Amino acid sequence: MNNSPIGIYDSGLGGLTVWREVRRALPGESIVYLGDGKHCPYGSRPREEIARLADRAVAALVDRGCKMIVVACNTATAAAIDLLREKYAPMPIVGMEPAVKPACIATRSGVVGVLATERSLDGALFRRTAARYGEGIEVVAVPGTGFVELVESDRESTPEAEACVRRAVAPMLRAGADQIVLGCTHYPFLLSLIERVVAGHDVSIIDPSPAVARRVVQLLDRFDLRAEPGRRADLSFLTFADESYRLRLEQKAMASLG
């Protein structure tokens, strides 16, 4: 048993989609969520800069006594997960792997779409995963240009957001994709809009957040890190931005639980 918190980190608000699933799966666990905010978005930043930002964030969560870290940011995972696992071993660190495998297994048309940031799509992790599971499958990878900015400014339900989604999804639909992978944790906040855009095309949308929560549960059990039963969970929120941003993190997290 271990009553220390789980640490969850993202460039901003997006990782709250993972926070929500971990919270639902493990209501007895304390969680410290760190949304950078100050440097968001990460998607087009140099890989070395992203690695430094990720290291700083994980160090802050370690200083708060976290027993496990979830890097709930695809871009940071692609840039820094190996470095983080080496530096902070033996602490379990969970990253965001592109959900290409389940999409390739499930596809009937033989075409899979992947929405992600520029840096994630350019990363070795995505290329390895696509090469390993995408043999004989056409993978149509498109950057979700503007998606992160829309979520960070609470504009998910605007005509501008719909136009951005339509531009990104159009080449996937033209190619005949029947699976679309959300390769950034900000993107599930646009899920209802994406579903509306693909309506009538028999397309499944894959959000990897529930699978990440299941992985967290597995590792807690493997390393005997679960909190004591009946203990009150503490939920806290950190940021490198200002207090108003920290409050937005907290409010959006609680609203996401419904």
| Other beta carbons within 10 Å of 136 | 6
- Token pair 């660190």: residue: 93
| Other beta carbons within 10 Å of 227 | 20
The phi and psi torsions of 8 (rounded to 5 degrees) equal -125, 130
The number of C-alpha atoms within 13 Å of 31 and in the hemisphere containing its C-beta is: 28
Task: State how far the alpha carbon of 56 is from the alpha carbons of 35, 60, 68, in Å.
Answer: 12, 6, 16
Q: For residue 124, what pLDDT is reported? A: 79
**CATH hierarchy code of domain 100-206:** 3.40.50.1860
SS3 9: strand
Task: State how far the alpha carbon of 226 is from the alpha carbons of 2, 72, 201, 221, 231, in Å.
Answer: 6, 20, 43, 7, 11
What's the rounded Cα separation, in Å, for the pair 155 and 184?
A: 17
Show the low-confidence residues of the chain (pLDDT under 70): none
- Token pair 């920290």: residue: 246
Give the containing element (helix H, strand E) for 237. Answer: strand 235-239
* DSSP annotation string for 69-97: EEE--HHHHHHHHHHHHHHTTTS-EE---
pLDDT tens column, 165-191: 999 999 999 999 999 999 999 999 999
pTM greater than 0.85 (yes/no) = yes
Q: For residue 43, what pLDDT is reported? A: 85
Domain boundaries, the chain: 6-95+209-256, 100-206
What's the rounded Cα separation, in Å, for the pair 72 and 174?
A: 31
Q: Which among 150, 148, 169 is positioned nearest to 161, based on CA atoms? A: 150
DSSP assignment, residue 23?
Answer: H
**Contact criterion met (CB below 8 Å) for 249 and 152:** no
Query: So which residues are the catalytic ones?
Result: 73, 184
For the domain made up of 6-95+209-256, give the CATH fold.
Rossmann fold (3.40.50)
Q: For residue 202, what pLDDT is reported? A: 94
**Contact criterion met (CB below 8 Å) for 147 and 164:** yes
